[in-house]
C-alpha cells in the first residue's frame, strides 16, 4: 500500500452522456482530503451527475473515478456497497424516508449496517442530531420539517456512519438567509471538527466560495475555471463574472437559440 495521497477523490477524463445529450466531455476533478471543495455551475450542467458518478450510482462513458486510490467503477456490487459506507450524500431535498421519524431516519444507516445494541444506537443518533441542533426534533416526521431542517436531518444521517467524504447537493437552494447561514456554518464546522472531506454543489458562487477551500466551475461539459476561492473570484473569467454579478447575458445566453429576430418578425407565419 502506498501512503495516502493528498487527494481523496480523483476523477480523470470523465465523459458522460444521457442518450445523445453530452453532459461531461473530458472532465478532471480532484477533491483534496480534509478540505471543502465547491462544485459550481448553472442548473443542468451536471453537478448532481458528478456526485452520482463519484458514488458509483452511474457509470461514466469513459474515464475513471478513484476514491482513496480505488477505481469506483471497477468494483463489484459488494465492494462498491462497502466503499459507499465511507461516503455520505445529501440529496437536494434531503431524501428522508417519509415513513420514518427523524430519530429513525438517522438511526437507519446504523441499524442497517451495524449490529450495535439499542442503547448505543440511541446515543449515537442523539449525538448526531445534537451536532445539527435538532435533538429536540427527534419525534417529528419529515412532513413536519422545514426545508432547512430536513437538510440538517439528512446531514445527521449522512454522518451517522462517520464517513470520510460527505457530498452536499445544492444544500442552500431555496433557503432563507438564516437557514442558509446555519447550513453554511454547519458544513464548515462539521468538516473541520470531524475531519471530513466535503464536496458542496451549488450555483450560489458567492455563498459557497465563502466556506470552500477550493472550487471548480463546470459548464458546457467542461471545467471552465478552478482554484482557491480567492483565485476564482479574482479570475475575471466570463463564466465567473456572469455568475457573481448575475448578468442576464454572457456565456449563458439570455435568449434560447432562435432565428434572427427581425427576419422572424417580418417573415411569414409558419405554416
Binding site for ligand ADP (CB under 6 A): 18, 23, 41, 43-49
Residues paired with 168 in a beta bridge: 90, 200
Measured between alpha carbons, how far is 152 from 168 in angstroms, rounded to an integer?
Answer: 11
Task: Please enumerate in sequence order all residues whose Cβ is within 8 A of that of 218, keeping only pairs 6 or more positions apart, or say none.
Answer: 27, 39, 40, 41, 45, 46, 47, 50, 224
The nearest distance, CB 172 to Mg ion, in angstroms, is 12
C-beta of 21: minimal distance to other proteins in Å?
16
Q: Are strands 165-169 and 87-90 parallel, antiparallel or unpaired?
A: parallel
Q: Which of 39, 23, 29 is nearest to 8 (CA)?
A: 29
**What does 113 interact with, of Mg ion, other proteins, ligand ADP, none (CB < 5 to 8 A by kind)?**
other proteins
Q: Residue 27 corresponds to which cell in the numbers above? A: 472532465
Q: Judge whether 119 and 175 are in contact, CB under 8 Å.
A: no
CB 214 within 8 A of CB 35: yes
Rounded Cα gap, residues 168 and 51, in angstroms: 9
CA dist., res. 128 & res. 158, Å (int) = 10
18 vs 16: CA distance, rounded Å: 7
Residue closer to Mg ion, measured from CB, 44 or 267: 44
Query: Would you count residue 48 as binding Mg ion (CB under 5 A)?
Result: yes
Site for Mg ion in 136-155 (CB under 5 A): none
Segment 156-185, which members bind other proteins (CB under 8 A)?
A: 157, 161
What minimum distance in Å lies between the beta carbon of 173 and Mg ion? 9
Residue 11 phi/psi, 5° resolution? -105, 130
Question: Taking contact as CB under 8 A, which single stretch among the options 1-9, 107-115, 126-134, 188-196 is the one that binds other proteins?
Answer: 107-115
Rounded to whole angstroms, how far apart are CA atoms 203 and 217?
A: 9
Instruction: Choose from other proteins, Mg ion, ligand ADP, none: what does 45 bind? Cβ within 5-8 Å by kind.
Output: ligand ADP
How far apart are alpha carbons 211 and 9 in whole angstroms?
A: 19
Determine if 55 is a binding residue for other proteins (CB under 8 A). yes
Site track for other proteins across 123-162, x = CB under 8 A:
-------------------------------x--x---x-
Q: How far is the CB of 87 from other proteins (least distance, A)?
A: 7
Of 8-16, 76-84, 170-178, 236-244: span binding other proteins (CB under 8 A): 76-84
Candidate segments 45-53, 105-113, 147-155, 245-253, binder of Mg ion by CB under 5 A: 45-53
The nearer residue to Mg ion, 102 or 166, going by C-beta atoms, is 166
Q: Which residues bind other proteins (CB under 8 A)?
A: 52, 55, 57, 81-82, 84-85, 87-89, 91-93, 95-98, 108-109, 112-113, 154, 157, 161
Q: Which residues bind Mg ion (CB under 5 A)?
A: 48
Amino acid at each position: 500500500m502506498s501512503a495516502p495521497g493528498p487527494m481523496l477523490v480523483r476523477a480523470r477524463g470523465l465523459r458522460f452522456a444521457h442518450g445523445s445529450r453530452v453532459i461531461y466531455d473530458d472532465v478532471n476533478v480532484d477533491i483534496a482530503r480534509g478540505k471543502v471543495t465547491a462544485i459550481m455551475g448553472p442548473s443542468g450542467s451536471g453537478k448532481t451527475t458528478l456526485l452520482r458518478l463519484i458514488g458509483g450510482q452511474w457509470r461514466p462513458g469513459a474515464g475513471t473515478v478513484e476514491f482513496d486510490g480505488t477505481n469506483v467503477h471497477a468494483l463489484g456490487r459488494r465492494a462498491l456497497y462497502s466503499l459507499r459506507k465511507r461516503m455520505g450524500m445529501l440529496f437536494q431535498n434531503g431524501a428522508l424516508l417519509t415513513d420514518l421519524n427523524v430519530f429513525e431516519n438517522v438511526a437507519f444507516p446504523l441499524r442497517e449496517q451495524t449490529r450495535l445494541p439499542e442503547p448505543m444506537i440511541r446515543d449515537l443518533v442523539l449525538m448526531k442530531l445534537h451536532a445539527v441542533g435538532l435533538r429536540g426534533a427527534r419525534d417529528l416526521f419529515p412532513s413536519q420539517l422545514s426545508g432547512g431542517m430536513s437538510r440538517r436531518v439528512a446531514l445527521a444521517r449522512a454522518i451517522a456512519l462517520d464517513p470520510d467524504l460527505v457530498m452536499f447537493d445544492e444544500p442552500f437552494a431555496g433557503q432563507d438567509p438564516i437557514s442558509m447561514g446555519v447550513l453554511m456554518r454547519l458544513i464548515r464546522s462539521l468538516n473541520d471538527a470531524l475531519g471530513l472531506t466535503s464536496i458542496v454543489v451549488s450555483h450560489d458562487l458567492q455563498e459557497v466560495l465563502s466556506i470552500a477551500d477550493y472550487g471548480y466551475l463546470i459548464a458546457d461539459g467542461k471545467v471552465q475555471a478552478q482554484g482557491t476561492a480567492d483565485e476564482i473570484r479574482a479570475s475575471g473569467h466570463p463564466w465567473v463574472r456572469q455568475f457573481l454579478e448575475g448578468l442576464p447575458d454572457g456565456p449563458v445566453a439570455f435568449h434560447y437559440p432562435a432565428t434572427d429576430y427581425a427576419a422572424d418578425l417580418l417573415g411569414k407565419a409558419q405554416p
